[in-house]
């Protein structure tokens, strides 16, 4: 991370911009904030970050729009934020304005509040320091402290992801080996597997292969905990149709082959890091996006070819949005259930993920479709099959 010095060109440009504004008698926040926005944007790029103005954020039951949200480019696709910036009028009492924001549950994990004259930096939910913005050294200190900060959960996540990428292939190969052994010698597993294969052929894809189902079992074993923990849904395995059927097969597998918890123990640190990082997200849709992205990254580290051929990588969000918009009206007319909580799909349920998007858009319940059978889903969703 570069250290910003008081004589940095961006700081000089910032102070000159304010001087130019003052020469025209400009005092309004809407105009003055552009100078700090350009400064923050420039320094963000030097730190491999991106400033997004007026990016919406759900806080409790309402939406807010911070003047600026800074994303780390490496983690921006996960929806994880480095920090926030909030501008106030030069004549505003900054302390009172901050008190109002704090009372409204404004994010304070790494947040700059400023009114052109003074800035207050909050980190970890508490005021860290205040800075005279006319002082070049103090302004440089503010920028350096802001961009150097990482919430402990996010810092751990950085380290864990790199470690996980190296460990996943070996663990996945170990699971495949145990599945192959069970296919040959574990009769309860063989019966449960054949039953699940039939379910997959009837509900997901009539041409799905046994190898693809093996991959589903590997996916589930390695990611089930994340789905359950991130959405705080301990009943996920029992209430989700696909997950429940997979669990039956895995129960038969582990009863003869290995200890599930012991096998996954080496991933515990990674799981905790992801779960802690996800807890910085409050909105259900943000958590869903976070999980989708983690899931894709996991399989890019595991088997890119398998991910492509078996539909493991998620359908692009733009296509999902189009399909959700198309199915909204049908869901409303067919089921007339507009106020129930959305169903949480298993990663293998490609169609369920799309239906969930529609459910989130209108608060409908996609679970109704999941329980009607393939013919009814085909009528609702058109001719789309598979994951």
* Highest mean predicted confidence (pLDDT) among 91-95, 149-153, 225-229, 368-372: 91-95
- Per-residue confidence (pLDDT) for residue 159, from 0 to 100: 67
The C-alpha atoms of residue 355 and residue 368 are separated, in whole angstroms, by 10
Task: Return the exposure string of 133-169: e unless at least 16 CB atoms fall within 10 Å of the residue's CB, then b.
Answer: beebebbbbbbbbbbebbbebbebbeebbeebeeebe
CB 337 within 8 A of CB 365: yes
Domains and their CATH numbers in the chain: 9-150 (3.90.1570), 154-381 (no CATH)
CB 13 within 8 A of CB 38: yes
Q: What does the block give as tokens for 276?
A: 């802690």
What is the distance in angstroms between the CA of the first residue and the CA of the last residue of the chain? 42
Tell me the pTM: 0.58
Contacts of 3 (CB under 8 A, 6+ apart): 144
Q: Which of 122, 66, 68 is nearest to 95 (CA)?
A: 122
CB 183 within 8 A of CB 190: yes
pLDDT in tens, 268-280: 777 888 888 777 7
* Highest mean predicted confidence (pLDDT) among 128-137, 154-163, 185-194: 128-137
Most distant CA atoms of the chain, gap in Å: 85
The string of DSSP letters for 263-298 reads HHGGGHHHHHHHHHHHTT--SHHHHHHHHHHHHHHH
pLDDT in tens, 206-246: 898 898 888 888 888 887 888 788 877 777 666 667 778 88
Question: Using 50, 70 and 90 to split pLDDT, how confident is the model at 372?
Answer: very low
CB 118 within 8 A of CB 95: no
CA 324 to chain centre: 19
Quickly tell me which residue has 């089921």 as its tokens. 335
Q: What is the mean pLDDT of the chain?
A: 76
């Amino acid at each position: 991370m570069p250290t910003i010095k008081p004589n940095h060109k961006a700081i000089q440009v910032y102070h000159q911009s304010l001087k130019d504004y003052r020469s025209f008698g400009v005092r309004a926040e809407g105009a003055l904030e552009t100078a700090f926005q350009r400064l923050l944007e420039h320094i963000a790029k030097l730190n491999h970050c991106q400033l997004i103005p007026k990016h919406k954020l759900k806080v409790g039951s309402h939406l807010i729009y911070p003047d600026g949200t800074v994303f780390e480019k490496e983690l921006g696709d996960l929806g994880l934020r480095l920090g926030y910036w909030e501008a106030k009028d030069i004549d505003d009492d900054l302390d009172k304005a901050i008190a109002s924001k704090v009372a409204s549950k404004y994010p304070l994990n790494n947040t700059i509040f400023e009114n052109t004259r003074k800035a207050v930096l909050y980190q970890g939910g508490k005021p860290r320091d205040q800075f005279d913005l006319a002082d070049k050294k103090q302004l440089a200190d503010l920028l350096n402290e802001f961009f150097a900060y990482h919430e402990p959960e996010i810092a751990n996540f950085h380290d864990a992801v790199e470690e996980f990428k190296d460990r996943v292939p070996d663990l996945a190969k170990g699971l495949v080996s145990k599945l192959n052994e069970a296919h040959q010698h574990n009769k309860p597993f063989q019966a449960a597997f054949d039953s699940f294969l039939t379910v997959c052929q009837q509900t997901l894809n009539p041409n799905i292969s046994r190898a693809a189902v093996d991959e589903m079992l590997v996916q589930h074993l390695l990611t089930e905990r994340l789905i359950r923990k991130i959405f705080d849904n301990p009943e996920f395995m029992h209430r989700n149709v696909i997950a429940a059927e997979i669990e039956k097969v895995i129960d038969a597998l582990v009863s003869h082959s290995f200890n599930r918890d012991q096998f996954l123990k080496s991933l515990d640190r990674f799981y905790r890091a992801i779960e802690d990082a996800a807890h910085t997200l409050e909105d259900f849709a943000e958590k869903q996006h976070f999980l989708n992205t983690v899931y894709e990254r996991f399989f890019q580290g595991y088997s890119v070819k398998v991910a492509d051929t078996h539909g493991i990588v998620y359908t692009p969000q733009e296509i999902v949005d189009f399909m959700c918009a198309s199915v909204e009206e049908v869901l409303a007319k067919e089921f007339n259930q507009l106020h129930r909580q959305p169903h949480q799909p298993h990663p293998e349920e490609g169609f369920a993920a799309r239906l969930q998007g529609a459910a989130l858009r209108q608060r409908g319940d996609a679970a109704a479709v999941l329980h009607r059978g393939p013919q009814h889903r085909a009528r609702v969703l058109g001719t789309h099959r598979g994951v």
